[in-house]
Amino acid sequence: MLGCFVLSDPAHRMRAFHHVLGNTAAAMLGTSFLWFGITFWAYLETRSVLATSFLGGAYMLGMAILGVPFGGLVDRFRKHVVMVWSAIGTAVVFVLAGAVYLLTPAATLVDLGRPWFWLFTGLVLAGALLAMIRGLALSTCVTILVESDRRANANGMVGAVNGMTMLVTGVLSGLAIGQLGMGWVTVIAIGVIVASLVHLLLIRIPEPTIVHADGAPKPVDFSAAWLAIIAVPGLIGLILFSTLNNFLGGVFMGLLDPYGLELMSVEAWGILFGLSSIGFIVGGALIAKWGLGANPLRTLLIAAVAMWVVSLGFTLRESVVALAIGVFAYMVIIPFMEAAEQTLLQRVVPLEKQGRVFGFAQAVEVSAAPLSAFVIGPLAEFWLIPYAESPQGRSDWGWLLGDGDARGIALVFVLVSVAGLLVTGAAFLTRTYRVLTASYAAGDVNAGVAEEPDGIPGPDPLGKGHGEH
């Protein structure tokens, strides 16, 4: 049993939620600033689509491997404790990355044939993955701190804040790489992470008492996560659909930055991508205001159709305006998909198992993206891009894609978008769609969590309360 203080006043709980959300946003700001920066820097220094694809793929692979262990930590320990240790770990690893950058000659650092480029980027990757723990903890904090009928709106707030983070980091990372260089980007990111840690130490998260009927969670508990998922009719189908979507989305992860950097300077691309991230704010704000409707699963699938239509259209002509409109629209849509899945899980999965379920779902869903990124990088660089830019390719596809230097990347976007539309259309017709809709309509298994009365013992001062009492 996890014994800790609980506030029954919804206003107090929402205030705690806002503090946690703001702090997590600051941590993501520092992490994304460095990760965006290193992606821009890697492509500009190497001009290798292969390098950016492998970086993006490695990040998603790490999320897939670590999702369940990190989710187990969220269930096993207090949310505040795991968030603090996540911040400490991220700060330490980023400092090590800064040391590698400082001590390695520039020409040696960008040589893909030597280990220093991979050591530097690998350390940044490790720090970004450690920060992932805070995102999992935030999802469970929505269940703890927000009343059932307001969770969709709270998830919209999370999406809006994520958009604001992307807006700032997208603009500033491009400008910082272009004007200050990778070294200063690393220093700034470390400073932001340390500042968020100091603020986090001052926050108190009121958590309910959780009785683990099956005992305290194991550090790595795949079986318990799997059993919790299959206990909800249709939930495995939702995870499989998201997995297929992410398989296709891995292409965008690997190729969107190279596409943008082919059309403009790194400073301009950073600004455009950052401003386009206002779409996240718009999408999140719409959800925060209006929610997701009576059937979040239907909203998710409609959003997926819209996403693939946008992705199909914005690269048909090599145009900065089309790119800006397409990326903006894409980012308006993404919060609807993310919030819909979060809201479903928060309603149908018991709180004491949510960390593992969120982690398991994330692990499975993102596992496809590294595969697609690792596959599409070589395919694009050695086959599709040369073919599309050859006389034969221009003759075959010029009627659809027009002319330009990035038509090979555009061809990949088009093919993937058509596949995404077919997958999403088929999902509407499945039994899983009908069953999961019924599971959601059956009621909220966590309906009383955010309304528990006061009087539960306070946390021990060391924050170690976990396991069974």
Residue 375 included in any domain: yes
* Structure token digits, residue 50: 């292969």
Q: What is the pLDDT of residue 220?
A: 55
Q: What is the pLDDT of residue 124?
A: 92
Q: How far apart are CA 313 and CA 290, in angstroms?
A: 28
Q: Is the pLDDT of residue 464 over 50?
A: no
| Residue bearing tokens 């700034």 | 188
**Mean pLDDT, residues 4-11:** 52
Residue 5 included in any domain: no
Other beta carbons less than 10 A from residue 400's beta carbon: 12
Q: What is the pLDDT of residue 194?
A: 93
Residue 459 included in any domain: no
Residue 466 included in any domain: no
Query: Per residue, what are the HEC states of the chain?
Result: CECCCCCCCHHHHHHHHHHHHHHHHHHHHHHHHHHHHHHHHHHHHHCCHHHHHHHHHHHHHHHHHHHHHHHHHHHHCCHHHHHHHHHHHHHHHHHHHHHHHHHCCHHHHCCCCCHHHHHHHHHHHHHHHHHHHHHHHHHHHHHHHCCHHHHHHHHHHHHHHHHHHHHHHHHHHHHHHHHCCHHHHHHHHHHHHHHHHHHHCCCCCCCCCECCCCCCCCCCCHHHHHHHHHCCCCHHHHHHHHHHHHHHHHHHHHHHHHHHHHHCCHHHHHHHHHHHCHHHHHHHHHHHHHCCCCCHHHHHHHHHHHHHHHHHHCCCCCCHHHHHHHHHHHHHHHHHHHHHHHHHHHHHCCHHHHHHHHHHHHHHHHHHHHHHHHHHHHHHHHHHHHHHHCHHHHHHHHHHHCCCCCHHHHHHHHHHHHHHHHHHHHHCCCHHHHHHHHHHHCCCCCCCHHHCCCCCCCCCCCCCCCCCC
Q: How far apart are CA 137 and CA 70, in angstroms?
A: 9
CB-based contacts of 46, cutoff 8 Å, min separation 6: 110, 112
Q: What is the pLDDT of residue 172?
A: 79
Amino acid occupying residue 57: G
CA distances from 278 to 4, 54, 329, 362 (A): 38, 27, 10, 25
Per the DSSP assignment, residues forming a β-bridge with 210 are 2
First to last CA, the chain: 6
Q: How far apart are CA 57 and CA 364, in angstroms?
A: 14
Q: What is the pLDDT of residue 211?
A: 44
Q: Is the pLDDT of residue 457 over 50?
A: no
pLDDT digit string, tens, across residues 28-60: 888 888 988 888 888 888 777 677 777 777 787
Find out whether 21 and 166 touch, Cβ atoms under 8 Å.
no
Domain of 155 in residue numbering reads as 10-445
| Alpha carbons within 13 A on the beta-carbon side of 293 | 13
Residue 1 included in any domain: no
pLDDT digit string, tens, across residues 250-267: 677 667 877 888 788 877
Find out whether 236 and 436 touch, Cβ atoms under 8 Å.
no
Higher pLDDT, 305 or 217: 305
Residue 112 included in any domain: yes
CA distances from 314 to 22, 262, 401 (A): 33, 15, 10
pTM score of the predicted model: 0.64
Q: What is the pLDDT of residue 195?
A: 92
Find out whether 363 and 68 touch, Cβ atoms under 8 Å.
yes
Higher pLDDT, 194 or 107: 194
How many angstroms from the chain centroid is the CA of residue 270?
Answer: 19
User: Smallest Cα–Cα separation from 82: which of 73, 91, 90?
Assistant: 73
Percent of the chain at pLDDT > 70 equals: 83
Q: What is the pLDDT of residue 92?
A: 94
Find out whether 166 and 328 touch, Cβ atoms under 8 Å.
no
pLDDT digit string, tens, across residues 113-145: 788 888 998 899 999 899 888 888 888 888 788
* Structure token digits, residue 33: 């600033």
Q: How far apart are CA 317 and CA 321, in angstroms?
A: 10
pLDDT digit string, tens, across residues 272-330: 877 787 888 888 888 888 888 888 888 988 998 998 898 888 888 888 888 889 889 98
How many folded domains does the chain comprise? 1
Interior/surface letters 146-165, b for 16+ CB within 10 angstroms, e for the rest: bbbebbbbbbbbbbbbbbbb
CATH number at residue 65: 1.20.1250.20
Q: What is the pLDDT of residue 448?
A: 61
Q: What is the pLDDT of residue 93?
A: 94
pLDDT digit string, tens, across residues 394-448: 888 878 887 766 777 888 888 888 888 888 888 888 888 888 888 787 777 666 6
Q: What is the pLDDT of residue 89?
A: 93
pLDDT digit string, tens, across residues 344-397: 888 877 777 777 777 777 777 666 666 666 677 677 777 777 887 788 878 888
Q: What is the pLDDT of residue 469?
A: 32
pLDDT digit string, tens, across residues 73-94: 887 788 888 899 999 999 999 9
Residue 451 included in any domain: no
Residue 373 included in any domain: yes
Q: How far apart are CA 42 and CA 283, in angstroms?
A: 30
pLDDT band for 213, please (50, 70, 90 cuts): very low
Higher pLDDT, 162 or 325: 325
Q: What is the pLDDT of residue 395?
A: 80
Q: What is the pLDDT of residue 259?
A: 82
Interior CA angle at 303 toward 53 and 152, to 5°?
Answer: 105
